[in-house]
């Protein structure tokens, strides 16, 4: 078995898939039907760390914009976490006016972090 695959923790990855699915308010049954698998199989992937087929793996991480780097190389610095990738997808839906508001808010948070607390 390839070392990277051997190090891949499908338990954590399955939990990330479940969390992303629930965030989008998709039931396990709905997703299983869409993917052409049983709800029990999807539950095994999400909750029991069962290794999915490569095809299913690609479908799930692509569908939910999950970066697998953090699972394959947990000790390596990662470029973008799954949360950052989801945020990128969300930001792509905003026009410049909304992005200006978000940029100002982010800058305000950074400035506030630099201020000493009284």
pLDDT mean values, one per 10 residues, the chain (118 residues): 56 91 95 96 94 92 83 65 79 90 89 75
pTM: 0.58
Residue carrying structure tokens 């808010």 = 105
CA 103 to CA 10: how far, in whole Å? 35
Residue 78: its pLDDT value, please?
57
Direct distance between the N- and C-terminal alpha carbons of the chain, in angstroms, rounded to an integer? 56
Q: How far is CA 7 from the centre of its chain?
A: 18
Residue 56: its pLDDT value, please?
95
Residue 1: its pLDDT value, please?
41
Residue 111: its pLDDT value, please?
87
Residue 3: its pLDDT value, please?
45
Q: Is the dihedral of CA 52, 79, 15, 64 positive or negative?
A: negative
Residue 10: its pLDDT value, please?
84
Residue 73: its pLDDT value, please?
64
Residue 35: its pLDDT value, please?
95
Q: Can you point out the beta strands (E) in the chain? A: none
Q: At what angle do helices 39-48 and 10-23 cross, to 10 degrees?
A: 120
């Amino acid at each position: 078995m390839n070392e990277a695959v051997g190090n891949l923790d499908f338990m954590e990855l399955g939990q990330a898939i479940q969390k992303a699915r629930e965030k989008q308010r998709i039931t396990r049954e709905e997703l299983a039907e869409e993917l052409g698998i049983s709800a029990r199989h999807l539950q095994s992937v999400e909750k029991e760390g069962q290794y999915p087929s490569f095809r299913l793996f690609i479908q799930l991480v692509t569908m939910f914009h999950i970066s697998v780097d953090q699972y394959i190389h947990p000790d390596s610095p990662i470029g973008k976490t799954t949360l950052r990738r989801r945020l990128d997808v969300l930001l792509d839906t905003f026009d410049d006016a909304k992005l200006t508001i978000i940029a100002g808010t982010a800058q305000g948070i950074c400035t506030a972090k630099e201020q000493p607390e009284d």
